[in-house]
Amino acid sequence: MPHSPGTRNTPGTGHRAPARRGRPQQITAGRVTALLVLAPAVGMFFGGMVFAVLCAGGASLAAVRVRPAGLWWVLPLAPVAIWTVCVGRELFDASGSRSGQAVAVARGMIEAFPAMAVTLAATAAVALLRRVARRRSARA
How would you write the pLDDT of the chain (140 residues) with one tens digit per residue?
555 555 555 555 555 665 556 655 677 778 888 888 999 999 988 988 999 999 999 999 999 998 888 888 889 999 999 999 999 999 988 877 888 888 999 999 999 999 999 999 999 999 999 989 888 888 76
- pLDDT for residue 19: 58
Rounded to a whole number of angstroms, the distance between the first and last alpha carbons of the chain is 45
- pLDDT for residue 69: 82
Record the pTM.
Answer: 0.75
In angstroms, the CA 51 to CA 102 distance is: 23
